A and B are shown apart, each in its own frame.
Chain A
Amino acid sequence: EVQLVESGGGLEQPGRSLRLSCTASGFTFGDYCMSWFRQAPGKGLEWVGLIRGKGYSVTTEYAASVKGRFTISRDDSKDIAYLQMNSLNTEDTAIYYCSRGRAAIISYYFDYWGQGTLVTVSS
């Protein structure tokens, strides 16, 4: 059974950093793209970024809103994907989800999702 479990969320001050983890099980982690999404309170879904699997040179893509501040990485030996969030601001307050990507020609759709972890940025 595929499972994704996010961790690392919490309350952080503006300007500080936070690292989220997504621990995967039930599939060959290294073969898959892993993506991060967020959902601000009462709002819709926003794609944050993704990291491709080893078959695609482990490259990354980011949304413009986080590019240069957030970094996605992965440790295939541990089946974990990470979201390093720097220079946090109040607009980063959201539930953060990780998801497994299923490849299309250029991009991905997302078939399994974690339960989410809440990040609150406030002074």
Chain B
Amino acid sequence: DIQMTQSPSTLSASVGDRVTITCRASQSISSWLAWYQQKPGKAPNLLIYQASSLESGVPSRFSGSGSGTEFTLTISSLQPDDFATYYCQQYNSFPCSFGQGTKLEIK
């Protein structure tokens, strides 16, 4: 099974900051990676698929990059609505697996 590890687990930042979250896979997953945002009490929301493709309707301040085993999610200028928990998910093979999550907090 492929293990996904995110860092950091918690990130404190301010509105307007540029932030980057990293996701590492235990083996190569090519570009088969998605990123989700989850707010408290809500379902996850797809942000990025195939490592760098922006889902329709997602603001352009979100971007993804990487391939193989290392990936990043970048938010170019944090907005108040962006404070949430972010998860990466690999879909290179079964079982589907998620990172443990990165909680983005207001500094």
Chain A residues at the B interface, C-beta cutoff of 8 Å:
35, 44-47, 50, 61, 63-64, 97, 99, 102, 104-111, 113-116
Contacts and interface: CB of A to CB of B under 8 A. Distances in A.
B54 to A, nearest CB: 13
A113 B44 contact: yes
Main SS class of interface, A: strand
Interface residues of B, number: 26
A47 B91 CA distance: 11
Contacts of A46: 98
Interface of B: 1, 32, 34, 36, 38, 42-46, 49-50, 55, 87, 89, 91-101
A65 to B, nearest CB: 9
A110 B97 CA distance: 12
A109 B44 CA distance: 12
Contact of B96 (A102, A108, A116): A108
Given A102-B49, A113-B43, A115-B43, A107 B98 contact: no
Contacts of A116: 43
Contacts of B100: 44
30 contacts: A35-B96, A44-B87, A44-B98, A44-B99, A45-B38, A45-B98, A46-B98, A47-B95, A47-B96, A61-B95, A97-B44, A99-B43, A104-B91, A106-B32, A106-B93, A106-B94, A107-B32, A107-B91, A107-B92, A107-B93, A109-B46, A109-B91, A110-B34, A110-B36, A110-B89, A111-B46, A111-B49, A111-B55, A113-B43, A113-B44
